[in-house]
């Protein structure tokens, strides 16, 4: 009996079944979810799939005793606002959890304000508190470049960066840090903080959405709120996207969300003013083109 | 003489990994975990010094182990314990308490007998180490 047990054990150690591991980890579900729930972002999806297979293979190699050091998982997401960085970070946290690289898989989202204190001695405890909260999961630092303010040499951001780097290096098994922000500012940030650059293994760029992708996103958003477009309002939305994209402060999917929220407001107003007698569910959830065309964007103004 | 206070005190000292697992059990039960230290091992010394606030919203035990190691850097020669508070009854009650760090040398306790009225005897114990002022008891 004892010998049999030993034989089985040695079998497990000399062979791994990647397909089985893949199925068991539930990574396939997440990748499929990523594909279905996010529109566009093909380069991002490809990168994530590559990363997932790398991590899966690494885990298998670890089982066979081929690697003894845990890989660096810290990442940087760069791209314009509203391109889905936070959403992908959330999925990434789940992915790393399923692969067994983080223990809890929760996402803690912070900005400069949560890390940097206002007076001497305030920064270190604040940063440590956040880091502790993120342990076992993923720390997502939005607009990370604001941590470093070279124009003010007494800025406490540097202190936060030092603690961050130290924990990123020493507690690699405990948490994964994802830095996010605009591409050009992130590049500058990494240039002036080489420590970060070398500690981050995965740089992922988020491209802007095309007009068609934005329209698709609009439809998904509307459907998720239990509203729907008709032919005319869809056309109006497409035109809205075309015009809005050329205006300043365009924030991709976030701008679309805001536009839809305002369209819902106008729709509610219209329904309320025009309703006489009982109305059905389809009337209540129909967004007409007038609801969209009333937007200031069409008359040359700016929707925020 | 080895001080045996709290849970697990008759077991060999825990490794960090074992501490991590115990703490994770506490966190998964929804208890707030806190680190405390003292250099007065008297059994009636209930309130030890707090190392930071109780950690209410850390989902992972790594944070506690991290803080414990920070505490060891400063008070490595003291008694350090981990306490788990349960607030579900409406007040904070201790569910689990165990020592995670102790001085390398524990001199033990002195038992003194005092004869009082009617030839009764009152017993009291004093840690030998508490003869010295606080802060210089363990090196």
Rounded Cα–Cα distance for residues A175 and B59 (Å): 12
Per residue in B26-35, pLDDT (tens digit) is 999 999 999 9
| Residue contact A132–B59, C-beta within 8 A | no
The chain-wide mean pLDDT, for chain B, equals 92
Q: Which two tokens stand for residue A129?
A: 């508190």
Q: pTM of the prediction?
A: 0.79
Q: Which has more confidence, A280 or B122?
A: B122
A-B Cβ pairs (cutoff 8 Å, strict)? 34
Cα distances from A253 to residues A96, A296, B33, B60, B63, in angstroms, run 25, 18, 41, 33, 36
Q: Please give the order of strands across the beta sheet that includes B93-101.
A: B49-55, B32-38, B79-86, B93-101
Per residue in A51-84, pLDDT (tens digit) is 888 888 888 888 888 876 777 889 999 998 888 8
pLDDT band at B67; cut points 50, 70, 90: very high
The answer to whether B67 contacts chain A (CB < 8 Å) is yes
Rounded Cα–Cα distance for residues A191 and A202 (Å): 16
Residue A1 has pLDDT above 50, yes or no: no
Interface of A with B in 168-187 (CB under 8 A): 171, 173-175
The complex's ipTM works out to 0.76
The answer to whether A135 contacts chain B (CB < 8 Å) is yes
Rounded Cα–Cα distance for residues A149 and A184 (Å): 15
Per residue in B37-65, pLDDT (tens digit) is 999 999 999 999 999 888 888 889 999 99
Q: Measured on CA atoms in the order B29, B31, B32, B36, is the torsion positive or negative? A: negative
The answer to whether A124 contacts chain B (CB < 8 Å) is no
Residues 6+ away with beta carbon under 8 Å from A227: A264, A267, A285, A286, A287
What is the pLDDT, as a whole number, of residue A302?
66
Q: What is the mean pLDDT of residues A187-206?
A: 87
Rounded Cα–Cα distance for residues B35 and A84 (Å): 39
Proportion of chain B above pLDDT 70, given as a percent: 100
- Which chain B residues are closer than 8 Å to A173 by Cβ? 62
What is the pLDDT, as a whole number, of residue B7?
93
Residue A298 has pLDDT above 60, yes or no: yes
| Residue contact B67–A132, C-beta within 8 A | yes
What is the pLDDT, as a whole number, of residue A7?
45
Residues 6+ away with beta carbon under 8 Å from A265: none
| Residue contact B58–A135, C-beta within 8 A | yes
Q: Are A38 and A88 in contact (CB under 8 A)?
A: yes
The answer to whether B99 contacts chain A (CB < 8 Å) is no
Residue with tokens 């566009």: A40
pLDDT band at A10; cut points 50, 70, 90: very low
Q: What is the mean pLDDT of residues A123-132?
A: 92
| Residue contact A104–B60, C-beta within 8 A | yes
- Which chain A residues are closer than 8 Å to B61 by Cβ? 136
Helix (H) or strand (E) holding A108: strand A107-110
Per residue in A198-220, pLDDT (tens digit) is 888 888 999 888 888 899 888 88
Main-chain phi, psi angles of A92, to 5 degrees: -65, -40
The chain-wide mean pLDDT, for chain A, equals 85
Q: Which has more confidence, A68 or A223?
A: A223
pLDDT band at A6; cut points 50, 70, 90: very low
| Residue contact A104–B66, C-beta within 8 A | no
Cα distances from A124 to residues A97, A119, A167, A235, B63, in angstroms, run 28, 11, 12, 53, 15
Rounded Cα–Cα distance for residues A144 and A114 (Å): 11
Instruction: State the maximum Cα–Cα separation within chain A, in Å, rounded to a whole number.
Output: 84
Proportion of chain A above pLDDT 90, given as a percent: 17
What is the pLDDT, as a whole number, of residue A8?
46
Helix (H) or strand (E) holding B128: none
| Residue contact B59–A106, C-beta within 8 A | yes
Nearest CA in chain B to A172: B62
Q: Which has more confidence, A107 or A277?
A: A107
| Residue contact B63–A135, C-beta within 8 A | yes
Of A18-22, A84-88, B54-58, B106-110, give the lowest mean pLDDT range.
A18-22
Chain B nearest C-alpha distance from A174 (Å): 6
Q: Which has more confidence, A140 or A248?
A: A140
């Amino acid at each position: 009996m004892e010998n049999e047990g030993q034989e089985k054990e040695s079998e497990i150690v000399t062979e791994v079944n990647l397909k089985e591991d893949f199925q068991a980890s539930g990574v396939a579900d997440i990748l499929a979810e990523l594909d279905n729930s996010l529109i566009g972002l093909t380069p991002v999806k490809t990168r994530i799939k590559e990363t997932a297979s790398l991590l899966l293979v690494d885990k298998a190699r670890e089982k066979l005793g081929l690697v003894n050091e845990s890989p660096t998982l810290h990442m940087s997401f760069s791209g314009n606002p509203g391109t889905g960085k936070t959403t992908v970070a959330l999925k990434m946290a789940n992915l790393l959890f399923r692969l067994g690289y983080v223990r809890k898989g929760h996402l803690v989202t912070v900005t400069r304000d949560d890390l940097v204190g206002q007076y001497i001695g305030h920064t270190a405890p604040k940063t440590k508190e956040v880091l502790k909260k993120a342990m076992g999961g993923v720390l997502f630092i939005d607009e990370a470049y604001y941590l470093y303010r070279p124009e003010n040499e007494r800025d406490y951001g540097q202190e936060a960066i030092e603690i961050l780097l130290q924990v990123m290096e020493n507690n690699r098994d405990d948490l994964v840090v994802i830095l996010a922000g605009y591409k050009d500012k992130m590049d500058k940030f990494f240039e002036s903080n080489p420590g970060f650059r070398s500690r981050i293994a995965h740089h992922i760029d988020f491209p802007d959405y095309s007009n068609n992708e934005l329209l698709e996103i609009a439809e998904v958003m509307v459907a998720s709120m239990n509203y729907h477009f008709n032919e005319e309002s869809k056309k109006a939305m497409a035109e809205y996207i075309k015009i809005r994209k050329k205006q300043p402060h365009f924030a991709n999917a976030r701008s679309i969300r805001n536009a839809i929220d305002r369209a819902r407001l106008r729709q509610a107003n219209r329904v309320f003013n025009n309703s006489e007698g009982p109305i059905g569910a389809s009337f209540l959830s129909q967004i007409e083109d007038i609801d969209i065309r009333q937007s200031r964007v069409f008359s040359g103004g700016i929707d925020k | 003489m080895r001080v045996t206070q709290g849970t697990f005190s008759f077991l060999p000292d825990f490794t960090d990994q074992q501490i991590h697992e115990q703490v994770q059990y506490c966190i998964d039960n929804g208890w707030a975990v806190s680190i405390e230290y003292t250099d007065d091992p008297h059994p009636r010394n209930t309130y030890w010094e707090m190392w930071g606030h109780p950690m209410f919203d850390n989902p992972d035990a790594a944070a506690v182990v991290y803080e414990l190691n920070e505490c060891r850097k400063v008070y490595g020669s003291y008694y350090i314990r981990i306490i788990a508070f349960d607030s579900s009854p409406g007040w904070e009650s201790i569910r689990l308490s165990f020592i995670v760090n102790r001085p390398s040398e524990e001199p033990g306790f002195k038992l003194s007998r005092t004869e009082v009225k009617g030839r009764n005897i009152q017993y009291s114990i004093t840690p030998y180490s508490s003869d010295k002022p606080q802060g210089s008891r363990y090196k």
